[in-house]
A and B are shown apart, each in its own frame.
Chain A
């Protein structure tokens, strides 16, 4: 579904991603871990099409299409969803109104009829249950004054509404309390199918107890320096990143 080959990207001339290779197949869950500043969010942003980042080398294909060639909104309409590490606030625009615009534009792109108010609200009610989100929150201005956890929960609610094929969750677990973590993870699991895939970016192995990954990758200095199974996450939890950093850095100096 997603194939990233030798992806290099920089921002304002500073290289951040330095040759990422990653294959994600339908039905899979990949976890990406790595120290702060290693480029995890950058990778997510580049995939979603944020224009400040300049792709200097490499290719990304998504469902057979050249992803890098598509405008950000078309990537979304093709089924790429990014749950932001820091969701933005849009004053005066209710979540409901925002999502209705989004859902209908996505549907239009996919050749589906737009949903009228009743159908949309029915769908919303149904998806709300999935992440146990409160109706009141959705009638408020999007993310404005939401608590950290509420913002994250709302991201997953949006994911549920947009039914993406590739979801990238950037530290969705940070800021969630223990119960919320379970609820949100449950939601993500329920949305999982053999036709879609998930990339979870996280610092904590705890999340991976709920959303069990097929692969775990470690990103360091803009490269995937180690890949493994769920056990790798456990190992990292125990040992930290130093052993990986050392291995990589010593190799680099050779």
Chain B
């Protein structure tokens, strides 16, 4: 065995940093999934009748669907009847402001390095914190509402802005879209809602922070972002979960609606518990994210840094309906140990002169499998559509795998679609070169990997980029040398 393989063999036992959990009293739905449970959730959330009906319809649809198996991932069948579909920390009364939020809950976020205290918060980021099934706190609401921006938990939006929710819910990801989206539509518990009115540039980053705490509870959140004409918003999403031996299911739906000239940037730094070194435990992350550039000249940009989860199944997509609209997808997906990721994007060109850009950087280490799956579809009417895709894979060791599945479907002869793909290995040469300059192997890997992922990391807002860099290094810690 060459040295290269040998050092790669000594695989990391790097502990997942956010693996702790906290015991607190929770409001929980009974275990299992049926119409009664859905009614229970809806009642708990004091939802209007239309929403309950919507959920029940989704549930019916879902019952007739089967779990997809086309993704390049394998995992034991999830027993959806053994899960709990709602768990919320008990708060005596619904807090009206941050000061009323249970300090114990705030502490959970403190421990994760997220300060929900507005004064101390990183300047320029408003946070909606979602713990298990509910949103526990949203910061900077006042500042934002002066501009007419609505940024609140999904449940609150249902109560305060039902007309908006009703109009846009399911408009981008219909409940019939896929197995997990249908399931989410039936049982979603909370999430974030964001509305940017016409002509407003949101002055701060909006962010949702998802945390799974409860055991055996699925997390099904729902995010809806609506950007009216000429508006702009940059939205961040972060996630962690405790370390548990059994797998946990996370099946979220994110919908983005961009009107004329609107621009939405959506960034994710996903750090769900990936399972341990032997592949035990970890989050199943089955997420549907989609945005529609409904208006002319609109733009939606997805940036994701995926480091966690045992199994990831996720394809943030753009429907480019408006003329001249632009869709972007920047992704770094790291897998280590026994992680599996099947991720990519779909760019659907409908309008004229629409452009899309895909930059995917996969990094596989250990015994992990990393797949890029992307679809570029150009419809008949989409004259002069342009797509550029760059899919790179970086391998560390020879027990991992990288796979690329690009699907291209073109129905307009004026379309121009370019696809480039590379596969490389972190070379012994590169590591030795760094070592020879006094750089430890660990830092050399971090340096090389961050260099490789730079084009994507550059898309993230500053604070997040730094975090993401550290996270990449951490995920791969001990993977070489």
User: Interface size on B (CB < 8 Å)?
Assistant: 25
Instruction: List residues of B (250-293) whose CB comes within 8 Å of A's CBs.
Output: none
Q: Which of A77, A93, A162 has the most CB of B within 10 A?
A: A93
B455 partner residues in chain A, CB cutoff 8 A: 92
Contact A76-B450, Cβ < 8 Å, known A88-B427, A101-B443, A105-B443:
no
Please give me the residue from chain B that is nearest to A103 by CB atom. Answer: B438
Chain B 347-382: CB-based contact to A (< 8 A → 1; otherwise 0): 000000000000000000000000000000000000
A52 & B3 in contact (Cβ 8 Å cutoff):
yes
A90 & B436 in contact (Cβ 8 Å cutoff):
no
Does chain A have a CB within 8 A of B452?
yes
B435 & A72 in contact (Cβ 8 Å cutoff):
yes
A228 partner residues in chain B, CB cutoff 8 A: none
> What CA separation (Å) do A50 and B4 show in the bound complex?
12
A sample of 12 cross-chain residue pairs with beta-carbon separation below 8 angstroms, ordered by A number, consists of A50-B432, A51-B432, A73-B439, A75-B436, A87-B433, A90-B430, A90-B434, A91-B451, A97-B447, A98-B437, A105-B438, A109-B438
A162 & B451 in contact (Cβ 8 Å cutoff):
no
B429 partner residues in chain A, CB cutoff 8 A: 88
B33 partner residues in chain A, CB cutoff 8 A: none
B438 & A106 in contact (Cβ 8 Å cutoff):
yes
Does chain A have a CB within 8 A of B428?
yes
Does chain A have a CB within 8 A of B413?
no
B452 partner residues in chain A, CB cutoff 8 A: 91-92
> What CA separation (Å) do A109 and B437 show in the bound complex?
12
B454 partner residues in chain A, CB cutoff 8 A: 92
A87 partner residues in chain B, CB cutoff 8 A: 433
B440 partner residues in chain A, CB cutoff 8 A: 73, 105
A52 partner residues in chain B, CB cutoff 8 A: 2-3, 428
> What CA separation (Å) do A55 and B110 show in the bound complex?
52
Please give me the residue from chain A that is nearest to B448 by CB atom. Answer: A90
Q: Which of A73, A84, A90, A162 has the most CB of B within 10 A?
A: A73
CB distance from A211 to the nearest CB of B (A): 21
Q: Which B residues fall within an 8 A CB radius of A? A: 2-3, 427-430, 432-441, 443, 447-448, 450-455
> What CA separation (Å) do A101 and B438 show in the bound complex?
9
> What CA separation (Å) do A90 and B430 show in the bound complex?
7
> What CA separation (Å) do A88 and B433 show in the bound complex?
7
Beyond known contacts A49-B435, A91-B451, A102-B439: 17 more, CB 8 A cutoff: A48-B432, A73-B440, A76-B435, A76-B437, A77-B438, A81-B436, A84-B436, A87-B433, A90-B451, A92-B450, A93-B448, A98-B437, A98-B447, A99-B437, A101-B439, A102-B437, A103-B438
Instruction: List residues of A (57-103) whose CB comes within 8 Å of B's CBs.
Output: 71-73, 75-77, 81-82, 84, 87-88, 90-93, 97-99, 101-103
> What CA separation (Å) do A141 and B455 show in the bound complex?
12
Does chain B have a CB within 8 A of A158?
yes
> What CA separation (Å) do A162 and B455 show in the bound complex?
29
A90 partner residues in chain B, CB cutoff 8 A: 430, 433-434, 447-448, 451
Chain A 130-161: CB-based contact to B (< 8 A → 1; otherwise 0): 00000000000100000000000000001000
CB distance from A45 to the nearest CB of B (A): 8
Please give me the residue from chain A that is nearest to B428 by CB atom. Answer: A52
Contact A84-B433, Cβ < 8 Å, known A92-B451, A92-B453:
yes
